Amino acid sequence: MRLGLDQRICLVTGSTAGIGLETARLLAEEGARVVVTGRQEAGVKRAREEVGAALGVACDLADSAAPGELIARVERELGPVECLVNNVGVAYQRSFEELEDADWDELWQLNVLSYVRAIRAVVPAMREQGFGRIVNVSSTAGKRPSGGMPDYSVTKAAVLSLSRLVADLYAGEGILCNAVTPGPTASPAWLAPGGLADQAAARSGKSRDDVLASVGKGRPLGRLAEPEEIAAVIVFLCSDRASYVTGAAWSADGGTVPIII
């Protein structure tokens, strides 16, 4: 099944590993001209070569000016962004009581405001073309907050609200906006040294392997997602096949959140 993505200019933030990298890979396989991003130049270079991306840009999207500068560069070098995937984000295991204002602000800047700023930057050209696809990566924690990641949960709930807002504002101009809510995924966020599995193990006194086994068993499917399973949903929402889908929050969580919305 062809998805109508050939030659589309698709920007994926946070695309040097995990869900973002697999999304960039699938988009490129569909013939899209993909832009990959990350904080480290070396990681961006590696991802660009691995994916066959048209452009790679190293930038820190928590910087208030960075999203606009990124979009402007893509427009100069390739043309207007037609598909924007807001995937960049960070999460930590920590309790509500230990969080300080700076902790909340760190996650808010990257997990929410980078999305707002990137959307604000792509909308003018999308409106002019009468076409756009925006997919925001949220989380099951946005639908059912995690007591172990309170600040992350709140930011991901905000992403759901943002996605619905943008969908309502611009549907009549051909711009479709949706969110995806992955469950725990076998990506560096969970598996890398010092990642969420190690953090949870340190806090609980369990082994890393026990933590991962428990997290997997907490899904009806009995395992963590693979990054490409989430990427497949994102790429579909970018495609012409999803031409009547907007304002949705697509669960890709192995049945984790037991609701039908």
Catalytic residues: 152
Residue type, 83: C
DSSP code for 213? H
Record the tokens describing residue 27, joined without a space.
Answer: 């988009």
| Token duo for residue 66 | 């960075």
Q: How far apart are CA 64 and CA 131, in angstroms?
A: 26
Amino acid letter for position 7: Q
Residue 23 and residue 15: Cα distance in Å, rounded?
8
DSSP 63: S
Euclidean distance between CA atoms 76 and 90, whole angstroms:
29
